[in-house]
Amino acid sequence: MHYLSTRGDTRGLSFVDSLLTGLAPDGGLLIPEQIPAVGDEIDSLRGLDFVAFAKRVLPLFADDIETSTLHTLIDNAYGTFASPDVIEIRELCDVAVVELFHGPTLAFKDVALQLLGQLFAHVLAQRGERLNILGATSGDTGSAAIAGVRGQDNVDIFILYPNHRVSRLQELQMTTVPDSNVHCVAVEGSFDDCQNLMKETFGDLAFKQQYQLGAVNSVNWARIMAQVIYYGWVSLRGVTPVSFCVPTGNFGNVFAGYFAKWMGFPIDSLIVATNDNDILARFFNDGTYARGSVHHTLTPAMDIQIASNFERYLYFLLNKDTDKLKALMQEFAATGSTQLAQISYGDDFLATAVDRDATLEAIRSVHAQSGYVLDPHTAVGVAAARRLAGSVAGPLYCMATAHPAKFPEAVAAALPEVSATHPALDALVGMSERKQVIPADIKAVKAVITKGLARA
Ligand SMILES: *Cc1c(COP(=O)(O)O)cnc(C)c1O
Protein backbone atom coordinates (compact mmCIF):
# COMPACT_ATOMS: atom_id res chain seq x y z
CA MET A 1 0.00 0.00 0.00
CA HIS A 2 1.35 3.38 -1.00
CA TYR A 3 0.21 6.80 0.11
CA LEU A 4 0.04 10.01 -1.88
CA SER A 5 -0.82 13.62 -1.12
CA THR A 6 -4.20 15.07 -2.08
CA ARG A 7 -2.20 17.81 -3.83
CA GLY A 8 -0.24 15.32 -5.91
CA ASP A 9 3.37 16.38 -5.36
CA THR A 10 4.19 13.80 -2.68
CA ARG A 11 3.80 10.15 -3.73
CA GLY A 12 4.92 6.63 -3.03
CA LEU A 13 5.15 6.81 0.76
CA SER A 14 4.90 3.58 2.74
CA PHE A 15 2.47 3.40 5.65
CA VAL A 16 5.26 3.94 8.19
CA ASP A 17 6.54 6.97 6.26
CA SER A 18 3.05 8.43 6.16
CA LEU A 19 2.69 7.83 9.90
CA LEU A 20 5.80 9.89 10.63
CA THR A 21 5.12 12.55 7.98
CA GLY A 22 1.73 13.86 9.16
CA LEU A 23 0.98 16.72 6.77
CA ALA A 24 2.53 16.16 3.33
CA PRO A 25 5.39 18.52 2.38
CA ASP A 26 3.23 19.94 -0.45
CA GLY A 27 0.61 21.05 2.10
CA GLY A 28 -1.84 18.28 1.21
CA LEU A 29 -3.12 15.33 3.22
CA LEU A 30 -1.92 11.77 2.72
CA ILE A 31 -4.34 9.17 1.43
CA PRO A 32 -3.95 5.55 0.22
CA GLU A 33 -3.32 5.29 -3.51
CA GLN A 34 -5.89 2.50 -3.72
CA ILE A 35 -8.88 1.88 -1.52
CA PRO A 36 -8.43 -1.64 -0.06
CA ALA A 37 -11.58 -3.63 -0.85
CA VAL A 38 -13.11 -6.05 1.64
CA GLY A 39 -15.86 -7.37 -0.66
CA ASP A 40 -14.91 -11.06 -0.74
CA GLU A 41 -14.00 -11.16 2.92
CA ILE A 42 -17.09 -9.51 4.35
CA ASP A 43 -18.80 -12.70 5.47
CA SER A 44 -15.74 -13.89 7.35
CA LEU A 45 -15.56 -10.55 9.18
CA ARG A 46 -19.07 -10.82 10.63
CA GLY A 47 -19.39 -11.81 14.26
CA LEU A 48 -15.80 -10.97 15.25
CA ASP A 49 -15.22 -8.94 18.40
CA PHE A 50 -13.81 -5.46 17.89
CA VAL A 51 -10.17 -6.34 18.50
CA ALA A 52 -10.28 -9.43 16.26
CA PHE A 53 -11.95 -7.33 13.58
CA ALA A 54 -9.25 -4.65 13.86
CA LYS A 55 -6.59 -7.34 13.49
CA ARG A 56 -8.11 -8.44 10.20
CA VAL A 57 -8.62 -4.99 8.66
CA LEU A 58 -5.67 -2.85 9.83
CA PRO A 59 -3.04 -4.96 8.04
CA LEU A 60 -4.64 -3.89 4.75
CA PHE A 61 -3.39 -0.36 5.44
CA ALA A 62 -0.24 -0.96 7.50
CA ASP A 63 1.27 -3.60 5.26
CA ASP A 64 4.86 -2.64 6.03
CA ILE A 65 4.51 -3.66 9.68
CA GLU A 66 4.74 -7.37 10.34
CA THR A 67 1.26 -8.74 11.02
CA SER A 68 2.09 -10.40 14.34
CA THR A 69 3.70 -7.17 15.55
CA LEU A 70 0.68 -5.18 14.46
CA HIS A 71 -1.56 -7.57 16.37
CA THR A 72 0.45 -6.97 19.55
CA LEU A 73 0.21 -3.20 19.08
CA ILE A 74 -3.57 -3.51 18.64
CA ASP A 75 -3.86 -5.59 21.83
CA ASN A 76 -1.79 -3.02 23.75
CA ALA A 77 -3.79 -0.07 22.40
CA TYR A 78 -7.24 -1.47 23.20
CA GLY A 79 -6.15 -3.12 26.45
CA THR A 80 -6.24 0.39 27.96
CA PHE A 81 -10.01 0.68 27.47
CA ALA A 82 -12.32 0.37 30.46
CA SER A 83 -14.79 -1.72 28.47
CA PRO A 84 -13.61 -5.20 27.49
CA ASP A 85 -15.62 -4.78 24.28
CA VAL A 86 -13.77 -1.47 23.60
CA ILE A 87 -16.89 -0.03 21.97
CA GLU A 88 -20.41 -0.46 23.32
CA ILE A 89 -23.69 -0.03 21.54
CA ARG A 90 -26.80 1.09 23.42
CA GLU A 91 -30.28 0.97 22.01
CA LEU A 92 -32.12 3.85 23.68
CA CYS A 93 -35.69 5.07 23.09
CA ASP A 94 -35.69 5.83 19.36
CA VAL A 95 -31.93 5.94 18.78
CA ALA A 96 -28.93 3.62 18.97
CA VAL A 97 -25.69 5.16 20.20
CA VAL A 98 -22.21 3.78 19.60
CA GLU A 99 -20.16 4.59 22.70
CA LEU A 100 -16.65 5.35 21.48
CA PHE A 101 -15.55 6.95 24.75
CA HIS A 102 -14.31 4.10 26.95
CA GLY A 103 -10.62 4.96 26.51
CA PRO A 104 -8.36 6.70 29.04
CA THR A 105 -9.52 10.28 28.36
CA LEU A 106 -13.22 9.52 27.81
CA ALA A 107 -13.45 10.84 24.24
CA PHE A 108 -13.56 8.98 20.92
CA LYS A 109 -10.13 10.35 20.02
CA ASP A 110 -8.61 7.66 22.26
CA VAL A 111 -9.62 4.95 19.76
CA ALA A 112 -7.16 6.35 17.25
CA LEU A 113 -4.58 7.96 19.53
CA GLN A 114 -3.99 4.89 21.69
CA LEU A 115 -3.14 2.98 18.52
CA LEU A 116 -1.04 5.86 17.18
CA GLY A 117 1.00 5.88 20.42
CA GLN A 118 1.71 2.17 20.01
CA LEU A 119 2.65 2.58 16.36
CA PHE A 120 5.02 5.46 17.13
CA ALA A 121 6.75 3.53 19.92
CA HIS A 122 7.30 0.51 17.69
CA VAL A 123 8.42 2.33 14.56
CA LEU A 124 10.77 4.73 16.35
CA ALA A 125 12.43 1.96 18.33
CA GLN A 126 12.89 -0.06 15.16
CA ARG A 127 14.42 2.83 13.25
CA GLY A 128 16.39 4.18 16.20
CA GLU A 129 14.73 7.57 15.71
CA ARG A 130 13.04 10.14 17.95
CA LEU A 131 9.92 12.18 17.38
CA ASN A 132 8.86 15.40 19.04
CA ILE A 133 5.15 15.91 18.73
CA LEU A 134 3.79 19.42 18.56
CA GLY A 135 0.03 19.83 18.80
CA ALA A 136 -2.56 22.51 19.46
CA THR A 137 -5.78 21.69 21.26
CA SER A 138 -9.05 23.31 22.24
CA GLY A 139 -9.60 20.42 24.63
CA ASP A 140 -9.98 16.76 23.76
CA THR A 141 -7.13 16.16 21.31
CA GLY A 142 -4.40 17.27 23.71
CA SER A 143 -5.28 14.90 26.53
CA ALA A 144 -5.89 11.95 24.18
CA ALA A 145 -2.57 12.54 22.39
CA ILE A 146 -0.74 12.82 25.73
CA ALA A 147 -2.38 9.62 26.97
CA GLY A 148 -1.19 7.88 23.79
CA VAL A 149 2.53 8.64 24.22
CA ARG A 150 3.15 9.43 27.91
CA GLY A 151 6.21 7.71 29.32
CA GLN A 152 7.67 6.74 25.94
CA ASP A 153 11.46 6.94 25.56
CA ASN A 154 11.62 8.10 21.96
CA VAL A 155 8.86 10.70 22.03
CA ASP A 156 8.38 14.10 23.65
CA ILE A 157 5.03 15.80 23.30
CA PHE A 158 4.35 19.55 23.43
CA ILE A 159 0.71 20.58 23.57
CA LEU A 160 -0.30 24.22 23.10
CA TYR A 161 -3.67 25.27 24.50
CA PRO A 162 -5.29 28.63 25.21
CA ASN A 163 -4.71 29.58 28.85
CA HIS A 164 -8.01 29.81 30.80
CA ARG A 165 -10.01 28.88 27.69
CA VAL A 166 -10.18 25.12 27.93
CA SER A 167 -12.43 23.62 30.57
CA ARG A 168 -10.83 23.01 33.95
CA LEU A 169 -11.34 19.24 33.63
CA GLN A 170 -9.76 19.18 30.19
CA GLU A 171 -6.78 21.13 31.50
CA LEU A 172 -6.37 18.77 34.45
CA GLN A 173 -6.41 15.77 32.10
CA MET A 174 -3.26 17.22 30.54
CA THR A 175 -1.42 18.98 33.35
CA THR A 176 -1.66 16.20 35.96
CA VAL A 177 0.17 13.68 33.79
CA PRO A 178 3.51 13.29 35.62
CA ASP A 179 5.68 11.79 32.84
CA SER A 180 8.68 13.92 31.97
CA ASN A 181 8.17 13.54 28.19
CA VAL A 182 4.90 15.52 28.47
CA HIS A 183 5.02 19.32 28.13
CA CYS A 184 1.79 21.30 28.62
CA VAL A 185 2.04 24.81 27.27
CA ALA A 186 -0.68 27.32 28.14
CA VAL A 187 -0.58 30.15 25.59
CA GLU A 188 -1.84 33.61 26.49
CA GLY A 189 -4.17 33.80 23.52
CA SER A 190 -6.99 31.97 21.71
CA PHE A 191 -7.13 28.51 20.22
CA ASP A 192 -6.57 30.08 16.79
CA ASP A 193 -3.36 31.63 18.13
CA CYS A 194 -2.24 28.18 19.30
CA GLN A 195 -3.00 26.63 15.94
CA ASN A 196 -1.23 29.42 14.08
CA LEU A 197 1.83 29.11 16.31
CA MET A 198 1.90 25.39 15.63
CA LYS A 199 1.63 25.91 11.86
CA GLU A 200 4.26 28.62 11.94
CA THR A 201 6.65 26.34 13.83
CA PHE A 202 6.07 23.49 11.35
CA GLY A 203 6.52 26.04 8.56
CA ASP A 204 10.11 26.69 9.69
CA LEU A 205 11.41 23.62 7.86
CA ALA A 206 14.92 23.89 9.23
CA PHE A 207 13.61 23.96 12.79
CA LYS A 208 11.14 21.17 12.04
CA GLN A 209 13.92 18.98 10.76
CA GLN A 210 16.44 19.83 13.45
CA TYR A 211 13.94 18.97 16.20
CA GLN A 212 12.19 16.08 14.38
CA LEU A 213 8.73 17.56 14.81
CA GLY A 214 5.70 15.37 14.11
CA ALA A 215 1.94 15.83 14.22
CA VAL A 216 -0.92 14.01 15.91
CA ASN A 217 -3.92 15.98 14.72
CA SER A 218 -6.28 14.30 12.28
CA VAL A 219 -4.20 15.31 9.26
CA ASN A 220 -2.28 12.16 10.25
CA TRP A 221 -3.68 9.34 8.10
CA ALA A 222 -3.24 6.75 10.84
CA ARG A 223 -5.96 8.47 12.86
CA ILE A 224 -8.48 8.09 10.05
CA MET A 225 -7.39 4.49 9.48
CA ALA A 226 -8.06 3.60 13.12
CA GLN A 227 -11.52 5.15 12.90
CA VAL A 228 -12.46 3.24 9.75
CA ILE A 229 -12.42 0.11 11.93
CA TYR A 230 -15.40 0.93 14.08
CA TYR A 231 -17.56 1.93 11.13
CA GLY A 232 -16.85 -1.39 9.46
CA TRP A 233 -17.39 -3.32 12.66
CA VAL A 234 -20.74 -1.70 13.49
CA SER A 235 -21.94 -2.09 9.89
CA LEU A 236 -21.67 -5.89 10.15
CA ARG A 237 -23.60 -6.27 13.39
CA GLY A 238 -26.96 -7.20 11.93
CA VAL A 239 -29.42 -5.84 9.39
CA THR A 240 -27.67 -4.09 6.49
CA PRO A 241 -27.07 -1.55 5.13
CA VAL A 242 -26.70 0.81 8.07
CA SER A 243 -26.42 4.58 8.34
CA PHE A 244 -24.46 6.73 10.77
CA CYS A 245 -24.92 10.16 12.31
CA VAL A 246 -21.68 11.84 13.34
CA PRO A 247 -21.11 15.00 15.41
CA THR A 248 -18.57 16.75 13.22
CA GLY A 249 -15.80 19.29 13.68
CA ASN A 250 -12.69 18.60 11.61
CA PHE A 251 -14.51 16.05 9.40
CA GLY A 252 -12.05 13.33 10.47
CA ASN A 253 -14.51 10.98 12.11
CA VAL A 254 -17.22 11.14 9.46
CA PHE A 255 -14.65 10.91 6.67
CA ALA A 256 -13.56 7.57 8.14
CA GLY A 257 -17.16 6.39 7.71
CA TYR A 258 -17.12 7.48 4.07
CA PHE A 259 -13.87 5.61 3.52
CA ALA A 260 -15.33 2.48 5.14
CA LYS A 261 -18.24 2.68 2.71
CA TRP A 262 -15.86 2.78 -0.25
CA MET A 263 -13.98 -0.22 1.10
CA GLY A 264 -17.21 -2.15 0.65
CA PHE A 265 -18.76 -2.14 4.11
CA PRO A 266 -22.58 -2.01 3.92
CA ILE A 267 -23.10 1.66 4.74
CA ASP A 268 -25.86 3.75 3.20
CA SER A 269 -25.75 7.36 4.37
CA LEU A 270 -23.62 9.45 6.69
CA ILE A 271 -25.29 12.34 8.47
CA VAL A 272 -22.95 15.25 9.19
CA ALA A 273 -24.20 16.94 12.36
CA THR A 274 -22.70 20.37 13.06
CA ASN A 275 -23.30 22.96 15.76
CA ASP A 276 -23.72 26.65 14.88
CA ASN A 277 -20.36 26.44 13.07
CA ASP A 278 -22.25 25.19 10.05
CA ILE A 279 -19.82 25.55 7.12
CA LEU A 280 -20.17 21.84 6.30
CA ALA A 281 -23.96 21.79 6.68
CA ARG A 282 -24.14 24.71 4.25
CA PHE A 283 -21.83 22.96 1.82
CA PHE A 284 -23.85 19.75 1.71
CA ASN A 285 -27.09 21.67 1.34
CA ASP A 286 -26.16 24.25 -1.31
CA GLY A 287 -22.62 23.60 -2.56
CA THR A 288 -21.04 26.76 -1.13
CA TYR A 289 -17.93 26.23 0.94
CA ALA A 290 -17.44 29.53 2.74
CA ARG A 291 -15.60 30.31 5.94
CA GLY A 292 -17.39 32.26 8.69
CA SER A 293 -16.26 33.40 12.10
CA VAL A 294 -16.08 30.87 14.92
CA HIS A 295 -19.07 30.65 17.28
CA HIS A 296 -18.44 29.40 20.80
CA THR A 297 -20.98 26.74 21.67
CA LEU A 298 -21.79 24.03 24.21
CA THR A 299 -19.76 21.66 22.02
CA PRO A 300 -16.25 23.13 21.89
CA ALA A 301 -14.72 20.14 20.08
CA MET A 302 -16.85 21.11 17.09
CA ASP A 303 -16.17 24.87 17.16
CA ILE A 304 -14.24 24.71 13.91
CA GLN A 305 -14.67 26.64 10.68
CA ILE A 306 -12.00 25.04 8.52
CA ALA A 307 -12.38 21.26 8.64
CA SER A 308 -8.95 20.04 7.62
CA ASN A 309 -10.08 16.55 6.60
CA PHE A 310 -12.59 17.94 4.15
CA GLU A 311 -9.72 18.09 1.67
CA ARG A 312 -9.54 14.30 1.69
CA TYR A 313 -13.19 14.13 0.68
CA LEU A 314 -12.76 16.78 -2.02
CA TYR A 315 -10.00 14.65 -3.50
CA PHE A 316 -12.50 11.86 -4.14
CA LEU A 317 -15.23 14.28 -5.13
CA LEU A 318 -12.93 15.69 -7.84
CA ASN A 319 -12.13 12.18 -9.10
CA LYS A 320 -8.60 12.33 -7.69
CA ASP A 321 -7.72 15.32 -9.88
CA THR A 322 -4.94 16.72 -7.70
CA ASP A 323 -4.37 19.78 -9.91
CA LYS A 324 -7.99 20.82 -9.68
CA LEU A 325 -7.92 20.29 -5.93
CA LYS A 326 -4.77 22.38 -5.54
CA ALA A 327 -6.40 25.24 -7.46
CA LEU A 328 -9.53 24.97 -5.36
CA MET A 329 -7.65 25.02 -2.06
CA GLN A 330 -5.66 28.02 -3.27
CA GLU A 331 -8.88 29.83 -4.14
CA PHE A 332 -10.30 29.01 -0.72
CA ALA A 333 -7.14 30.12 1.08
CA ALA A 334 -7.14 33.41 -0.83
CA THR A 335 -10.84 34.29 -0.74
CA GLY A 336 -12.33 32.24 2.09
CA SER A 337 -14.91 30.63 -0.17
CA THR A 338 -15.42 28.45 -3.20
CA GLN A 339 -18.41 27.15 -5.15
CA LEU A 340 -18.84 23.45 -5.77
CA ALA A 341 -22.53 23.41 -6.60
CA GLN A 342 -21.89 21.95 -10.05
CA ILE A 343 -20.32 18.83 -8.58
CA SER A 344 -22.64 16.00 -7.72
CA TYR A 345 -21.78 14.31 -4.45
CA GLY A 346 -24.50 11.70 -4.71
CA ASP A 347 -26.31 10.68 -1.56
CA ASP A 348 -23.37 9.64 0.62
CA PHE A 349 -23.85 12.57 2.95
CA LEU A 350 -26.75 14.43 4.52
CA ALA A 351 -26.11 17.36 6.81
CA THR A 352 -27.83 19.64 9.28
CA ALA A 353 -26.83 22.24 11.87
CA VAL A 354 -28.09 21.94 15.45
CA ASP A 355 -28.31 25.02 17.67
CA ARG A 356 -28.03 25.35 21.44
CA ASP A 357 -31.74 24.88 22.19
CA ALA A 358 -32.02 21.75 20.05
CA THR A 359 -28.88 20.33 21.69
CA LEU A 360 -30.26 20.86 25.21
CA GLU A 361 -33.65 19.48 24.13
CA ALA A 362 -32.02 16.27 22.86
CA ILE A 363 -30.22 15.78 26.19
CA ARG A 364 -33.49 16.35 28.06
CA SER A 365 -35.73 14.15 25.96
CA VAL A 366 -33.36 11.18 25.79
CA HIS A 367 -32.94 11.41 29.55
CA ALA A 368 -36.71 11.60 30.09
CA GLN A 369 -37.37 8.63 27.83
CA SER A 370 -34.51 6.34 28.81
CA GLY A 371 -32.63 7.75 31.81
CA TYR A 372 -29.47 7.99 29.68
CA VAL A 373 -27.31 11.15 29.79
CA LEU A 374 -25.85 12.30 26.47
CA ASP A 375 -22.74 14.43 26.25
CA PRO A 376 -23.54 17.65 24.32
CA HIS A 377 -21.58 16.59 21.20
CA THR A 378 -23.47 13.32 21.02
CA ALA A 379 -26.68 15.28 21.60
CA VAL A 380 -25.98 17.36 18.48
CA GLY A 381 -25.81 14.06 16.61
CA VAL A 382 -28.98 12.70 18.14
CA ALA A 383 -30.91 15.88 17.28
CA ALA A 384 -29.64 15.68 13.69
CA ALA A 385 -30.45 11.97 13.47
CA ARG A 386 -34.04 12.56 14.56
CA ARG A 387 -34.42 15.27 11.94
CA LEU A 388 -33.08 13.17 9.05
CA ALA A 389 -33.85 9.57 10.06
CA GLY A 390 -36.62 9.40 7.44
CA SER A 391 -34.16 10.08 4.63
CA VAL A 392 -31.63 7.29 5.26
CA ALA A 393 -31.74 3.52 4.85
CA GLY A 394 -31.32 0.86 7.51
CA PRO A 395 -30.63 1.06 11.22
CA LEU A 396 -29.23 4.49 12.12
CA TYR A 397 -26.36 4.63 14.60
CA CYS A 398 -25.38 7.85 16.41
CA MET A 399 -21.71 8.12 17.24
CA ALA A 400 -21.29 8.98 20.94
CA THR A 401 -18.03 10.91 20.96
CA ALA A 402 -17.52 11.77 24.64
CA HIS A 403 -18.60 10.75 28.13
CA PRO A 404 -21.02 13.34 29.56
CA ALA A 405 -18.83 13.87 32.64
CA LYS A 406 -16.30 15.70 30.43
CA PHE A 407 -18.86 18.45 29.86
CA PRO A 408 -20.67 18.88 33.19
CA GLU A 409 -21.70 22.51 32.54
CA ALA A 410 -23.60 21.61 29.38
CA VAL A 411 -25.26 18.65 31.03
CA ALA A 412 -26.28 20.87 33.96
CA ALA A 413 -27.74 23.43 31.57
CA ALA A 414 -30.08 20.76 30.24
CA LEU A 415 -30.62 18.73 33.39
CA PRO A 416 -30.04 20.83 36.53
CA GLU A 417 -30.96 17.86 38.74
CA VAL A 418 -28.33 15.53 37.20
CA SER A 419 -24.62 15.74 37.95
CA ALA A 420 -22.53 13.95 35.37
CA THR A 421 -19.43 12.48 36.98
CA HIS A 422 -16.80 9.85 36.29
CA PRO A 423 -14.32 8.46 38.84
CA ALA A 424 -11.36 9.02 36.48
CA LEU A 425 -12.18 12.73 36.35
CA ASP A 426 -12.99 13.07 40.06
CA ALA A 427 -9.55 11.61 40.82
CA LEU A 428 -7.82 14.50 39.00
CA VAL A 429 -9.01 17.21 41.35
CA GLY A 430 -6.28 18.22 43.78
CA MET A 431 -3.50 16.35 41.95
CA SER A 432 -0.32 18.31 41.34
CA GLU A 433 -0.04 20.05 37.98
CA ARG A 434 2.77 20.98 35.61
CA LYS A 435 2.39 23.64 32.95
CA GLN A 436 4.27 26.53 31.42
CA VAL A 437 2.52 29.75 30.52
CA ILE A 438 3.94 31.59 27.51
CA PRO A 439 2.97 34.60 25.38
CA ALA A 440 1.49 33.93 21.93
CA ASP A 441 4.84 34.28 20.25
CA ILE A 442 6.74 31.83 18.06
CA LYS A 443 10.04 32.58 19.80
CA ALA A 444 8.50 31.45 23.09
CA VAL A 445 7.20 28.23 21.49
CA LYS A 446 10.60 27.40 20.05
CA ALA A 447 12.26 28.14 23.40
CA VAL A 448 9.89 25.74 25.16
CA ILE A 449 10.81 23.01 22.70
CA THR A 450 14.57 23.53 22.80
CA LYS A 451 14.62 23.78 26.61
CA GLY A 452 12.26 20.85 27.04
CA LEU A 453 14.49 18.64 24.93
CA ALA A 454 17.70 19.82 26.60
CA ARG A 455 16.56 18.21 29.89
CA ALA A 456 17.75 14.78 28.74
C1 LIG B 1 -12.98 15.87 18.23
C2 LIG B 1 -14.41 15.70 18.65
C3 LIG B 1 -15.47 15.80 17.72
C4 LIG B 1 -15.25 16.15 16.27
O5 LIG B 1 -14.63 15.12 15.54
P6 LIG B 1 -13.96 15.43 14.09
O7 LIG B 1 -13.24 14.20 13.74
O8 LIG B 1 -13.05 16.60 14.32
O9 LIG B 1 -15.07 15.75 13.16
C10 LIG B 1 -16.75 15.57 18.18
N11 LIG B 1 -17.01 15.29 19.48
C12 LIG B 1 -16.02 15.21 20.40
C13 LIG B 1 -16.37 14.94 21.81
C14 LIG B 1 -14.68 15.40 20.02
O15 LIG B 1 -13.71 15.34 20.95
Report pLDDT digits (tens) over 40-94. 899 999 999 999 999 999 999 999 999 999 999 999 999 999 999 999 999 998 9
Please tell me the distance between residue 109's alpha carbon and the centre of ligand 1 in angstroms. Answer: 7
351 vs 91, 186, 287, CA distance in Å? Answer: 23, 35, 12
Would you name the residues annotated as active-site residues?
109
Please tell me the distance between residue 53's alpha carbon and the centre of ligand 1 in angstroms. Answer: 23
Please tell me the distance between residue 334's alpha carbon and the centre of ligand 1 in angstroms. Answer: 27
What pLDDT does 341 receive?
A: 64
Dist. CA 173–CA 176, nearest whole Å: 6
What pLDDT does 190 receive?
A: 85
pLDDT above 70: percentage of residues in the chain = 98
User: Average pLDDT, stretch 11-21?
Assistant: 94
Least confident of 143-152, 233-242, 294-303: 294-303
What pLDDT does 343 receive?
A: 66
Checking if the pLDDT of 327 tops 70, the result is yes
203 — pLDDT class (breaks 50, 70, 90) = confident
Mean pLDDT, all residues of the chain: 94
274 — pLDDT class (breaks 50, 70, 90) = very high
Q: Whole-prediction pTM value?
A: 0.96
Report pLDDT digits (tens) over 349-381. 999 999 999 999 999 999 999 999 999 999 999
Checking if the pLDDT of 456 tops 60, the result is no
Least confident of 199-203, 223-227, 271-275: 199-203
Q: Which atom of ligand 1 is nearest to the CA of 406?
A: 13
pLDDT above 90: percentage of residues in the chain = 81
The ligand 1 site (C-beta within 6 Å) comprises 107, 109, 140, 218, 247-253, 301-302, 377, 401-402
Checking if the pLDDT of 216 tops 90, the result is no
Q: Shortest CA distance to 69 belongs to which of 148, 123, 19, 3?
A: 123
What pLDDT does 167 receive?
A: 87
26 — pLDDT class (breaks 50, 70, 90) = confident
Which one of 302, 306, 374 would you pick to mutate in the ligand 1 pocket, going by the greatest count of ligand atoms within 8 A of its CB?
302
333 — pLDDT class (breaks 50, 70, 90) = confident
> How many CA atoms are closer than 13 Å to the CA of 355, on its beta-carbon side?
1
Q: Please enumerate in sequence order all residues whose Cβ is within 8 A of that of 323, keeping only pairs 6 or more positions apart, or say none.
A: 8
User: Average pLDDT, stretch 419-438?
Assistant: 96
What pLDDT does 217 receive?
A: 83
Report pLDDT digits (tens) over 91-143. 998 999 999 999 999 999 999 999 999 999 999 999 999 999 999 998 889 99
What pLDDT does 199 receive?
A: 84
Report pLDDT digits (tens) over 387-407. 999 999 999 999 999 999 999
**Distance of alpha carbon 34 from its chain centroid, rounded?**
22
Please tell me the distance between residue 116's alpha carbon and the centre of ligand 1 in angstroms. Answer: 17
What pLDDT does 455 receive?
A: 63
Checking if the pLDDT of 314 tops 70, the result is yes
What pLDDT does 145 receive?
A: 97
